[in-house]
């Protein structure tokens, strides 16, 4: 479904990503793990068109997408849930959800997808008129997911969805993400919580100083000596 091929990204003169390659398969969870500054979020921003490539290519469903605007990439079915959720705090929950559908004209389809959001996150239905800032951290993350679903995605790009959440909520968030893949959505997950990420992902890549240091099935990387020592605190 998605192929990232030998991408290089600079911020000014600083090289943030150095020849990274990975693939994401349909209806599977692909995770990128690594320390702060390893280049994980930069890879996601490159896919979404938020940062330009210095070199390399990104392909989605057979089309080369690097160089396109974020709006055009979103229209192809790529939804980016950024780190920190980036909600509109002084807008209602309903209005935040509807910002996800701003490129769509199909009213019936939007209504249908809104119901799908409520199936995933029943709590959201009862809070539609509340301001987004009044929600708990877990509810805000649910809202950020819901907004992404209103864009009618094929691929969900999730950047640190467990950040700042209590352990029980992290587990619940992981189960939600697992369900997305089971329902046919492709997922690219960036997580510092490597335990959670590797427990739900199908394939995993370890990024270190802007490069892919290790790759393989999530199952295999979970028992890898290097991963256990540096990322799983075992």
pLDDT in tens, 47-93: 999 999 999 999 999 999 999 999 999 999 999 998 878 899 999 99
Please give the torsion angle defined by the CA atoms of residues 29, 33, 38 and 42, in that order, rounded to the nearest 10 degrees: 20
Give mean pLDDT, residues 89-109.
Answer: 92
- The H or E element spanning position 7 is strand 2-11
Give mean pLDDT, residues 206-215.
Answer: 95
Share of the chain above pLDDT 70, in %: 100
CA atoms of 204 and 28, how far apart (whole Å): 11
Residue 79 pLDDT: 96
Asked if 165 contacts 141 with a C-beta cutoff of 8 angstroms, the reply is yes
Q: Which CATH superfamily is domain 1-76+188-234 in?
A: P-loop containing nucleotide triphosphate hydrolases (3.40.50.300)
Phi and psi at residue 55, to the nearest 5°: -160, 170
Q: 192: pLDDT confidence band, cut at 50, 70 and 90? A: confident
Assess whether pLDDT exceeds 60 at residue 18: yes
Residues 6+ apart with CB under 8 A from 176: 120, 121, 142, 145
Question: Pairing between strand 155-159 and 78-81?
Answer: parallel
Residue 34 pLDDT: 92
Where are the domains positioned within the chain? 1-76+188-234
Rounded to two decimals, what is the model's pTM? 0.93
Q: How far is residue 5 CA from its own chain's centroid?
A: 19
Give mean pLDDT, residues 180-206.
Answer: 95
CA atoms of 51 and 56, how far apart (whole Å): 13
């Amino acid at each position: 479904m998605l192929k990232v091929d030998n991408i290089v990204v600079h911020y000014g003169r600083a090289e943030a990503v150095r020849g990274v390659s990975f693939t994401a398969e349909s209806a599977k969870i692909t995770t990128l793990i690594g320390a702060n500054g390893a280049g994980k979020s930069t890879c996601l921003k490159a896919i979404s068109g938020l940062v330009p490539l210095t070199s390399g290519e990104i392909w989605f469903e057979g089309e080369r997408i690097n160089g396109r605007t974020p709006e055009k990439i979103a229209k192809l079915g790529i939804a980016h849930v950024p780190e920190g959720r980036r909600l509109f705090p002084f807008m209602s929950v309903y209005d935040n959800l509807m910002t996800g559908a701003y490129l769509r004209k199909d009213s019936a389809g939007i209504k249908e997808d809104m119901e799908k959001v409520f199936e995933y996150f029943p709590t959201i239905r009862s809070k539609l008129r509340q301001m987004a800032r009044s929600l708990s951290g877990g509810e805000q993350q649910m809202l950020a997911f819901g907004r992404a679903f209103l864009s009618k995605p094929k691929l969900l790009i999730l950047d640190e969805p467990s950040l700042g959440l209590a352990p029980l909520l992290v587990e619940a968030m992981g189960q939600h993400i697992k369900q997305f893949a089971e329902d046919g959505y492709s997922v690219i997950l960036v997580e510092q919580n490597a335990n959670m990420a590797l427990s739900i992902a199908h394939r995993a890549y370890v990024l270190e100083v802007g490069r892919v240091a290790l790759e393989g099935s999530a199952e295999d990387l979970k028992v890898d000596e290097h991963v256990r020592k540096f990322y799983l605190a075992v």
